[in-house]
Structure 1
Amino acid sequence: MQTAWQLLERGDLSIQHIADAVGYSSLSAFSDRFAQHFGHSPSHFRRLSK
């Protein structure tokens, strides 16, 4: 999840590509797990990092 966070902060990859890069074939599974781990969805963090 830390790698996913770092990739989200960079902002040059889509959330789907980040999910793929960290081993999730399902975007929804990745988003659910990310939200459980950090308390917010990946798109929430993407908006904050812009």
Structure 2
Amino acid sequence: MNRDPLLAPVTGVFAAQEIKPQARTLATDRGIRCVTLDYDALKGVDDVEARLF
């Protein structure tokens, strides 16, 4: 998309629960930011007080 002057500049975010090192390297090389997420915490399912550690 950055090749099209009408759309540039375009930035991307790679969001997942787990990102393998090779995927992170490839994304970073292409200017894509990597973010790891805890889906249960985002949904409000994860109860921090109920965890042992």
- Regarding TM over 0.5, the answer is no
Larger-gyration structure (1/2): 2
The higher relative CO (CA closer than 8 Å, separation ≥ 6) is in 1
| Range of TM-score over shorter length | 0.3 to 0.5
Could you tell me the TM-score, scaled by structure 1's length?
A: 0.32
